[in-house]
A and B are shown apart, each in its own frame.
Chain A
Amino acid sequence: SQKIEQNSEALNIQEGKTATLTCNYTNYSPAYLQWYRQDPGRGPVFLLLIRENEKEKRKERLKVTFDTTLKQSLFHITASQPADSATYLCALRRTGTASKLTFGTGTRLQVTL
């Protein structure tokens, strides 16, 4: 069956360090992969999108990599700040599917001073 897996355990890091979150998938041929941020009591907010033919994407302090051989995406936040504390979700849209967008379970990031 198709699965999108993210580390369910919270990631705790110190302010200023780089946070790295992982998204693994099985039995998918994704057209592209997206990362979202979700704060408590709010809906997810789009951060970055990377296509299947792209290896890396950057936006300010954020970087996403996409390895279709390993079936894995890594999401990096450099120089992390307490305001980066949130749950981060990855989402996949498969090749050939009529725009069905499927999400992983999310990883909670806690950045401490």
Chain B
Amino acid sequence: NAGVTQTPKFRVLKTGQSMTLLCAQDMNHEYMYWYRQDPGMGLRLIHYSVGEGTTAKGEVPDGYNVSRLKKQNFLLGLESAAPSQTSVYFCASSSGLEAFFGQGTRLTVV
């Protein structure tokens, strides 16, 4: 019973490099979310999706892109990483009520 799985768990990037974070859920949820969590800032919503093929901006979308080509997957891309994007990234999925979270990806941009 996997729930929400994030890949990778840790990553170090150099400034200007690109990468994609993968989120996969096996609960057939319509809604998926990407958050970042920084000390003292709580969880801030980057982008979210209300169904396959849809995406929408959250509170802090700049510097990130997302895609939801399949219902079970939600990808978060960083085209040109910046040190300000050093953070812990959480993916979540929901049927509309409670949200289920992945274990997080710790990203460091040097």
Q: Which residues of A contact B (CB under 8 A)?
A: 6, 8, 32, 34, 36, 41-46, 49, 89, 91, 98-106
Given contacts A98-B50, A99-B94, A100-B58, contact A46 B42 (CB under 8 A): no
Query: In this assembly, does B74 line the interface, its C-beta being within 8 Å of a C-beta of chain A?
Result: no
Given contacts A8-B40, A43-B90, contact A102 B100 (CB under 8 A): no
Chain A, Cβ-Cβ closest to B42: A105
Given contacts A89-B43, A98-B50, A98-B56, contact A103 B35 (CB under 8 A): yes
Q: List 23 A-B contacts (CB under 8 A).
A: A32-B97, A41-B104, A42-B103, A43-B92, A43-B103, A44-B43, A44-B99, A45-B101, A46-B100, A89-B42, A98-B50, A98-B56, A99-B31, A99-B50, A99-B94, A100-B45, A100-B48, A101-B33, A101-B48, A101-B92, A103-B35, A103-B42, A106-B42
Say whether A101 contacts B101, CB under 8 Å: no
Say whether B101 contacts A104, CB under 8 Å: no
Say whether B104 contacts A42, CB under 8 Å: yes
Chain B, Cβ-Cβ closest to A44: B101
CA distance A46 to B41 in the complex (A): 19
Chain A, Cβ-Cβ closest to B35: A103
CA distance A44 to B40 in the complex (A): 16
CA distance A106 to B99 in the complex (A): 16
Say whether A99 contacts B96, CB under 8 Å: yes
Min CB distance A39 to B, Å, is 11
Q: Which of B30, B43, B45, B59 has the most CB of A within 10 A?
A: B43
Say whether B58 contacts A105, CB under 8 Å: no
CA distance A9 to B43 in the complex (A): 17
